[in-house]
Amino acid sequence: MLREIVKYPDPVLERPSEPVTEFNEELRTLVDDMFESMYEAKGIGLAAPQIGVAKRITVIDLSFQKDPEDKIVLINPVIIFREGKQYEEEGCLSLPDIREKVSRAAKVTVKAQDADGEWFEMDGEELLARAFQHEIDHLDGVLFFRRVSALKRDLILRRIRKLQKAGDW
């Protein structure tokens, strides 16, 4: 089922999410809905708060449906290792048409649970590392524009206010 993607300044986007404690059919349905909603919005990652669900769940698919093996589900994820630096442009489904360069670690290791509650670790480099960090930030209530300079952040917020005033947001 398609879920509506919430846009900034919806409060759910700036609050830390609750840990998942029940691993059941309802959770698996939510994960399926998240993938479907992400694909419909042309994204490569989606965190549960972006569909209004304040739970620590994120889905990622860098292949964008080309390879089912590339579908990643992270439940209750934490970054346990960071290395290097990358400075690349990011966008966000909750901030449509806004893109900005963000500094992130070039390589990370995450520890998370799968949809059955089993713990695992996964390494990511470059784009995958950036996706891990971006989506886990969502679970912590941090949007990517909070990681840019104050000047760039102010310009983004002004642009959003202008779009809201015009009824385009």
Which residues sit in the known binding site? 92, 134, 138
Binding site feature residues for Fe cation: 92, 134, 138
| CA dihedral (63, 71, 85, 104) positive or negative | positive
Catalytic position from the list 40, 89, 118, 135: 135
Residue pair 151/158 in contact (Cβ under 8 Å)? The answer is no
DSSP 106: S
Active site residue 135: yes
Q: What is the largest CA-CA distance in the chain?
A: 47
39: amino acid identity, one letter: Y
Residues assigned a catalytic role: 135
